[in-house]
Structure 1
């Protein structure tokens, strides 16, 4: 009969567990309880179902920094391996990932892809690029229908009207969405003139957002030469595209807020800079005049009167010329600022409406009508004016402009 020590038994059981292929790589579903995070950053909790429970240890190196931690009572999927804690003779799951339970095969595929791309460095914070402070051109990959495009245009027009928005429309869900998103990003990359790219979609179910969990989309974002901002879904929605993008915004509108500054803040900054420049130059000129006066006094004591007068005249002439040139530079800067302000006012969408133009929407869908053929007789429409709006109904359709040619005005 062989007699073993307690440590030998526990070590033997550990070796048995670690040679079992099933126990080395498994997903377990259950309810989180007794969740706590130690000062070391490690997390410990119990995973239980109606009849059983098992201890879990989740070490800090496996805990993603960008995802929320689970809470007690949450149904979860836990991935890891079963091992023995030898000192106590207790077996536990050494956790490598925790995700919301009930997700089934789609969730497992998401986790597998996330883990693989993270291992390749696609989510590495050190590679993510800052946004340009004053972008001239913004590329946008989104659907040409729905509220997302309208919301982003509104935000950009309000905050920075001078920016050029280049929209590459694509499907964002369903068949062909993945290929469309990848092609749109490739088109902007080939164009090469965008300073930053927004990839956006409104909220939806996990199935609606599945295109943004595709590896091809992730690698297209990773391969972009300019920063990419992801504004996908709502604040609680996380996709692979969010994780690989340079910056994640909680909504499409928030993404637009992030990529451009507020023109009013920019104008204030420019005015403050000009004021400081004027003050500095004035101080320099004052100091130089004081130096000239001191030099004049020394020359008066040491030089003939005629030479002193000639030099004083020359110095005064140079100082006055410098002052005039400085003043002219400041005036030009002010004129440039006024011109930029006027140009920004002229580019305002409200200014266009103020000149007699209007925007016509389909009252049922909110879609902007660009051609007469976009509507049908009897359809309710809304007309946005410079001040207020009108509700109307289509009485007749003139697809080729013949009404206007014939002088028909009703």
Structure 2
């Protein structure tokens, strides 16, 4: 073999380009656009594909196009076959583009979207609420993709007590929808497979072309999401990507990272919630005691103006009822608070951070004891006040006066006689003594 017969790579590529351009020339080609991108220079790059093959295309700025190029569009392009020598890749330099009709994938997407909308699968009334503080979260995604790493980083950093269940599935290629449907079925029957029951399910993957995301536009998967008894969050693609799964899911997150942030409340937010509960409880107890103290003061001021015995009995009964109600209310508040603290403690104890919540629980218990002691001291003071006023009423009442030898006289109708001129001869009078009464007739 002589040296003059050996071609360099560049020489061979150049000859291939000349053969393609010389023998094929300019042609019309029909296909579906995918992976379209528009450069800042104004040049456009895309792939033209059909069921059997695909063709790389470039349309330089200034070429004629009657349509705006986008993924999924079915178009007819006119140009010449050439070779991009730096990569040794043959391509079509497009000079003209005209619309053949809407792409088959986009047409299927719109038809299925319209069908499921009319059946009510997108209605807000059919969507379940996603729990604010989930304990178990199932991630249905690829175990090796960037999406799972983003979600795990956010969940473990913001809410380390959450139990994360990763259900590995393919997110691209054949069988994606079947594996995702199987994952939904198994998670909805988790106990049968020895798995913890998730509070919510996240279906996620990164962005891609309409072909890459097409599995999430399949009708079977949409109906499986709708049938799930566990709330489903769709986090498929980037923020600008929309799939049928997004519309039928209980909640759509623009990205997998956004879905993780929705599910993971920050630890500082929980601490702030506990502090707010403590302040609200203290304010409610103080208001309750002030209101009943005002009632007792009013009763004490008006006791001598009406029947003293009745007022005394009413006041004593009110104090008993307030004491019983206050004790029960405080016990109920404490039970509720202790139950909530214990529940939060159990969650945090299993996953961290344990120390912060234990300190919060101790503070709440200490404050609760202070509130209870304050209430008991106030009740003792109120009871002493009622007893003191009762002794005063007894001392100033008519029974005390009669015990010292005094009496009072009334006519037959019970009217008190204060002047001898108020009676007439023959009239019957009644004199009240400490023990019994005496009837007499006026002479």
Per the normalisation by structure 1, the TM-score is: 0.52
Equivalent residue number for residue 218 of structure 2:
214
Matched ranges for 1:29-68 at <5 A: none
Q: CA deviation at 1:135?
A: 3.4
Kindly indicate whether residue 130 of structure 2 is the aligned counterpart of residue 131 of structure 1. yes
Distance 1:340 1:154, change over 3 A: farther
Equivalent residue number for residue 294 of structure 2:
290
Q: CA deviation at 1:110?
A: 3.4
When structure 1 is superposed on structure 2, of 125-134 and 283-292 the one drifting more is 125-134
Give the one of 250, 253, 259 matched to 2:257: 253
1:114-141 Cα deviation digits (max 9, x unpaired): 3443444433445333323343433332
Native 8 Å contact 1:162 1:344 kept in 2: yes
Distance 1:119 1:318, change over 3 A: closer
When structure 1 is superposed on structure 2, of 266-275 and 282-291 the one drifting more is 266-275
In structure 2, distance between residues paired with 1:237 and 1:292: 67
Per the normalisation by structure 2, the TM-score is: 0.49
In structure 2, distance between residues paired with 1:119 and 1:328: 53
Distance 1:103 1:166, change over 3 A: farther
Kindly indicate whether residue 190 of structure 2 is the aligned counterpart of residue 186 of structure 1. no
Distance 1:76 1:148, change over 3 A: closer
Equivalent residue number for residue 246 of structure 2:
242
1:146-198 Cα deviation digits (max 9, x unpaired): 33333323333344444443333222222332221110011122238433221
Distance 1:117 1:101, change over 3 A: farther
1:193-237 Cα deviation digits (max 9, x unpaired): 433221111233433323212222122112222332101122122
Native 8 Å contact 2:32 2:103 kept in 1: no
Equivalent residue number for residue 278 of structure 2:
274
Distance 1:184 1:229, change over 3 A: same
Distance 1:253 1:347, change over 3 A: farther
Matched ranges for 1:149-160 at <5 A: 149-160=148-159
In structure 1, distance between residues paired with 2:145 and 2:70: 34
Distance 1:304 1:230, change over 3 A: closer
In structure 1, the residue corresponding to 2:138 is in which secondary structure?
A: strand
Matched ranges for 1:36-185 at <5 A: 73-75=68-70, 104-185=103-184
User: Which ranges in structure 2 are unaligned for 5 or more consecutive residues?
Assistant: 1-30, 34-62, 75-98, 192-196, 356-443
CA-based RMSD? 4.2
Native 8 Å contact 1:143 1:169 kept in 2: yes
Q: CA deviation at 1:254?
A: 0.9
1:40-78 Cα deviation digits (max 9, x unpaired): xxxxxxxxxx8897xxxxxxxxxxxxxxxxxx9555878
Q: CA deviation at 1:323?
A: 5.2
In structure 1, the residue corresponding to 2:182 is in which secondary structure?
A: helix
1:80-134 Cα deviation digits (max 9, x unpaired): xxxxxxxxxxxxxxxxxxxx99984444443443344344443344533332334
Distance 1:126 1:277, change over 3 A: same
Give the one of 197, 221, 224 matched to 2:228: 224
In structure 1, distance between residues paired with 2:331 and 2:340: 14
When structure 1 is superposed on structure 2, of 274-283 and 126-135 the one drifting more is 126-135
In structure 2, the residue corresponding to 1:198 is in which secondary structure?
A: strand
In structure 2, distance between residues paired with 1:28 and 1:141: 30
Distance 1:101 1:335, change over 3 A: farther
In structure 2, distance between residues paired with 1:147 and 1:28: 29
Distance 1:289 1:175, change over 3 A: same
Return the structure number with greater helix share: 2
Equivalent residue number for residue 358 of structure 1:
none
Distance 1:128 1:334, change over 3 A: closer
In structure 2, distance between residues paired with 1:231 and 1:339: 33
In structure 2, distance between residues paired with 1:265 and 1:121: 37
Instruction: Tell me how many residue pairs correspond in the alignment.
Output: 268
In structure 2, the residue corresponding to 1:275 is in which secondary structure?
A: helix
Q: Rg bigger for which structure? A: 2
In structure 1, distance between residues paired with 2:121 and 2:321: 61
In structure 2, the residue corresponding to 1:175 is in which secondary structure?
A: coil
Distance 1:264 1:73, change over 3 A: same
User: Which ranges in structure 1 are unaligned for 5 or more consecutive residues?
Assistant: 1-26, 30-49, 54-71, 80-99, 353-410
Distance 1:174 1:225, change over 3 A: same
